[in-house]
Amino acid sequence: MRIRITNVLLMPGVTNEAHIPFIPDAEVLVDGSRIAYAGPKAGAPAFEADEVIDGYGMLAMPGLCNMHTHTPMTLLRSIGSDLTLDRWLNEAIFPVEKHLTDEAVRAGSDLGIMEMLRFGTTSFNDMYMHMDMEAEAVRDSGMRALLGHGVVDFDESCADLAPNIALIEKWNHAADDRIRISLAPHSEGATTEKVLLKIREAAETYHVPIHIHVSETRLDYDGSLNRRGLTPPQYLEKLGLTAHPVLAAHCVWMTDEDIELFARRGVTVLHNPMSNLKLASGIAPIAKMLKAGCRITLGTDGVASNNNLNLWEEIKLMPMLQKGNTLDPTVVSPAQTIAAATSAGAKAMGYEDLGQLKPGYLADLILLDLSGAHMCPCNDLESNLVYSAQGSDVALTMVNGKVLYRNGVYTTLVPRLVLERARKQAGSLLERAAQAAK
């Protein structure tokens, strides 16, 4: 399929921290799964298109990367709100997750993918269970994802990593390379040293990244100090994990040494500002991490601690929270924010040719409708994009050169059926959990 998007305002991608570039009256040419051209209309090459999309009044930009989520948890949306983290996990989340089935995970995955596509997310990084089901949902929907089977291992019972290796062998680079696999130890506190060393070994053997929760809460930080005499980042360094690509979710409780270590090692920080507020974990020192040269990306976390998958909310919240918390309005630029939501995430997922609209790059892009009252007037497009735009402004979402969402219409999902199945599976999941609690 060859698609021409014409008469569009183009944001080809963020390449520095100071400014977001825009090109008016541009054209994007998509040939199969890749960008053939993205630039001024006047300079576009001859191109026989199967479909022409009029982008008048819209912004074409790289699709968003939701870099930390647990997609099937959409079925648990709004469960356990306003509880302490301990009660949220032990009374609300864990008792239900014990009763997950393949069917529930498939239904939750489809629902999450449907929501992400609507709000302009074109790829996501996930850690959960029943991952064959989630991989099938990604394959069938046309989405792009980095998937990891979560390893929770208090007693070395998971130390053979069998489900992780099986997932890699079956799915890594599958579905036209839209699916990639990570190794996903839950956290310092929820895994044994033995399993982390096995994971380091597997990361080396299979060349896959490691996705792990790091210093999400004060308790994580203090616990690691008590157990190991080391902060979680220091512990990962000691075990040699940081010699491999590490995607570290949260990083709320970080010492200056932790930040310096992650910057030096090129660890990618997966920042989830909304979830960190909702679970009262705190406010990650993102302004400081950016200054130190850390790689910052953005995520929603699972919907049970958010409670949606609209990455535009995180885009606005990331700079706002840093300004308010440091009492310095100049920290965290729009360019740094959009980079975190697009190019930095794409790179952390292991793609060298994703996250920007450049010839040869994978065609993951969105069209943003700029015509709303809330985007008028356009005195400063960068500011409007980061501080005024709504997830609902997304008019079109394309992954791998294929339009998956456009003006309320999905091409690979049937919304009525996705919603119906999700409601049904959520209902029976909660019922099983309630029965078991009796």
Is 265 one of the binding residues for its own copies (CB under 8 A)? no
Contacts with its own copies by CB under 8 A: the residue count is 74
Which of these ranges, 15-23, 192-200, 350-358, 373-381, lies near its own copies under the rule CB under 8 A?
373-381
Taking the C-alpha atoms of residue 50 and residue 277, their distance in angstroms, rounded to an integer, is 46
Compute the least distance from the CB of residue 307 to its own copies, in Å. 4
Taking the C-alpha atoms of residue 263 and residue 257, their distance in angstroms, rounded to an integer, is 10
Residue owning tokens 């009796």: 438
Tell which residue, 298, 237, 240, 297, has the closest CA to residue 268: 297
Compute the least distance from the CB of residue 430 to its own copies, in Å. 7
What is the pairing mode between strands 210-214 and 394-399? unpaired
Taking the C-alpha atoms of residue 200 and residue 267, their distance in angstroms, rounded to an integer, is 14
Compute the least distance from the CB of residue 33 to its own copies, in Å. 25
Is 316 one of the binding residues for its own copies (CB under 8 A)? yes
Nearer to its own copies, 403 or 426 (CB): 426
Is 371 one of the binding residues for its own copies (CB under 8 A)? yes
Nearer to its own copies, 79 or 254 (CB): 79
Q: Which residues pair with 27 in a beta bridge?
A: 39
Nearer to its own copies, 27 or 314 (CB): 314
Compute the least distance from the CB of residue 156 to its own copies, in Å. 32
Compute the least distance from the CB of residue 188 to its own copies, in Å. 20
Is 43 one of the binding residues for its own copies (CB under 8 A)? no
Compute the least distance from the CB of residue 250 to its own copies, in Å. 12
State the virtual CA torsion across 417, 419, 425, 427 in degrees, nearest 10.
-130
Exactly one of 18, 42, 46, 373 binds its own copies (CB under 8 A); that residue is 373
Which of these ranges, 138-146, 157-165, 180-188, 321-329, lies near its own copies under the rule CB under 8 A?
321-329
Which of these ranges, 23-31, 64-72, 167-175, 381-389, lies near its own copies under the rule CB under 8 A?
381-389
Three-state DSSP string of 315-380: HHHHHHHHHHHHCCCCCCCHHHHHHHHCHHHHHHCCCCCCCCCCCCCECCEEEEECCCHHHCCCCC
What is the pairing mode between strands 409-410 and 402-406? antiparallel
CB atoms within 10 A of CB 19: 12
What is the pairing mode between strands 210-214 and 121-128? unpaired
* Alpha helix stretches (DSSP H) within 82-192: 85-87, 94-97, 102-118, 131-141, 162-171, 174-177
Burial of 131 (0-12, 13-18, 19+ CB in 10 A): buried
Phi, psi at 300, each rounded to 5°: -95, -20
Which of these ranges, 146-154, 173-181, 341-349, 419-427, lies near its own copies under the rule CB under 8 A?
419-427
Exactly one of 33, 101, 255, 390 binds its own copies (CB under 8 A); that residue is 390
Exactly one of 242, 268, 281, 356 binds its own copies (CB under 8 A); that residue is 281
Is 84 one of the binding residues for its own copies (CB under 8 A)? yes
State the virtual CA torsion across 329, 335, 340, 346 in degrees, nearest 10.
180
Residues 184-243 that bind its own copies (CB under 8 A): 218
Exactly one of 18, 42, 46, 327 binds its own copies (CB under 8 A); that residue is 327
Nearer to its own copies, 199 or 404 (CB): 404
User: What would the DSSP string read from start to end of 46-77?
Assistant: P---SEEEE-TTEEEEEPEEEEEE-GGGGGGT
Compute the least distance from the CB of residue 387 to its own copies, in Å. 4
Nearer to its own copies, 22 or 387 (CB): 387
CB atoms within 10 A of CB 434: 12
Exactly one of 149, 200, 278, 347 binds its own copies (CB under 8 A); that residue is 278
Is 77 one of the binding residues for its own copies (CB under 8 A)? yes
Exactly one of 59, 61, 76, 210 binds its own copies (CB under 8 A); that residue is 76
Nearer to its own copies, 187 or 384 (CB): 384
Taking the C-alpha atoms of residue 334 and residue 385, their distance in angstroms, rounded to an integer, is 8
> Angle at Cα 294 formed by Cα 21 and Cα 18, nearest 5°?
25
Burial of 436 (0-12, 13-18, 19+ CB in 10 A): exposed
Is 411 one of the binding residues for its own copies (CB under 8 A)? no
Is 282 one of the binding residues for its own copies (CB under 8 A)? yes
Nearer to its own copies, 111 or 349 (CB): 111
Exactly one of 70, 72, 88, 361 binds its own copies (CB under 8 A); that residue is 88
